[in-house]
Amino acid sequence: MARLFGTDGVRGVAGRDLTAELAMDLSVAAAHVLGDAGAFAATGRRPVAVVGRDPRASGEFLEAAVVAGLAASGVDVLRLGVLPTPAVAHLTAALGADLGVMLSASHNPAPDNGIKFLARGGFKLSDVVEDEIERRLGEEWSFPVGSGVGRVRDAYGEADRYISHVLTTMSAALDGLNIVVDCAHGAAHMVAPEALVRAGARVEAIGARPDGLNINAGYGSTHLDKLQQVVISRGADLGVAYDGDADRCLAVDHTGSIIDGDHIMAILAAAMHGEGLLAKDTVVATVMSNLGFKLAMRDAGITVVETAVGDRYVLERMKSDGFNLGGEQSGHVIMLDHATTGDGLLTSLHLLGVMAKSGVPLKELAAVMTPLPQILINVKDVDKGKSSVPELVAAVAEAEAELGETGRVLIRPSGTEPMIRVMVEAASEEHATQVAGRLADVVRTACV
């Protein structure tokens, strides 16, 4: 039976895969696993949960189901309204809540939605805890009655607590910077423009009119065309783009060139390293980060530690080894001194802060790294369990010898589909394409 929890909570088409019944059952199980439901009777203290969502229309009925499940289990609930995932994570910690819930499907289209649970302190759950919640779905519970039921109240004003927090992490005002911010018609449509203005920037917001159905539609970090056009037409210094729940950030410079997560991490790592703020002179990245990023960090005297793909694995390594900066090429950047998860707004503020302090345009800052051409081929309808068969291992070894130190190969089975991903980096796009094509052919014949 397939695992219900994916790499970032439980996701699916709302109303079909992710139903109100499932949302309520998950919240009841989570209340017992994370909130120690029943503590009110034992200690006189009722558990507390905070619940936030992005603007998807389905978030309205899913929020109602989650809140009902939590309150019925004896958990007091604070409804935060529409806020980014990192804001919910911050408020879980700042308000002393026992658990947090975020309803979002991130960069996915509007019909999808998802449920992410956060533990005390605002951290994402480990696989072990998620498995425990899933195991206890449908368990027979004894629900409280009378004074034992949870109480529900709105806490929409707590958005300002989050904005104030991210602003206190900055060491430079953004006076004079002219920026365009793309909110993806998502969860950051109010807090991001306000925070950037309060930081001193001149701001034009696009993708900031959610109607419940237009989230990520042609806007946001997965659709940068509109942002590029507006930055160039307005003569702005740069543009920043978030995804639907604003836990990631990408940027474009004044010429419209895309600045991805690797570039952003390189800029922040170099700046923090120069100020003595980069813990252990190390940045944590996934195996998908460009080799150019790793070479740039090596030249800057910064160590790169690699993890599996997924910001949760980056965070786990950062917490276990005491690192304070990490992230993914996709724009999930974790600044552990200030946040418990990837935070698009926080990332953009610190990126802008480097620009403001240095007086250097983003295009020049991004030149700290030169990305190598990267070719990714998704080979579908194969047996992903055969990604280590001898024929493929031999072909990879031959390719790696051919590429030498100026390239690399990564073979990765998909976590959710019958597919093997072939990624090749090389000094030229032509060479990378040739090598990736040969390896993809081997996968097609050897992994069936």
- The catalytically annotated residue of 73, 106, 330, 387 is 106
* Burial of residue 408 (number of CB atoms within 10 Å: 0-12, 13-18, 19+): buried
Q: SS3 for 238? A: strand
Q: With residue 347 as reference, give the H or E element that holds it.
A: helix 344-358
> How far is residue 76 from each of residues 70, 114, 136, 349, 362, measured CA to CA in Å?
7, 22, 21, 33, 45
The alpha-carbon radius of gyration of the chain (Å, integer) is: 22
- Mind giving me the DSSP string for 387-431? TT-HHHHHHHHHHHHHHGGG-EEEEEE-SSSSEEEEEEE-SSHHH
Alpha carbon 185 to chain centroid distance?
17
Q: Token pair 């419209």 is at which residue?
A: 256
What is d(CA 181, CA 35) in angstroms, rounded to the nearest whole number?
A: 37
Structure tokens at 296: 């740039």
> How far is residue 433 from each of residues 99, 132, 285, 365, measured CA to CA in Å?
46, 43, 24, 29
- Asked if 197 and 180 count as a contact pair (C-beta separation under 8 A), the reply is no
221 is a catalytic site residue = no
- Asked if 248 and 344 count as a contact pair (C-beta separation under 8 A), the reply is yes
Q: Which of 240, 268, 267 is nearest to 325 (CA)?
A: 268
Structure tokens at 77: 């609930």
Alpha carbon 348 to chain centroid distance?
14
The set of catalytic residues is 106
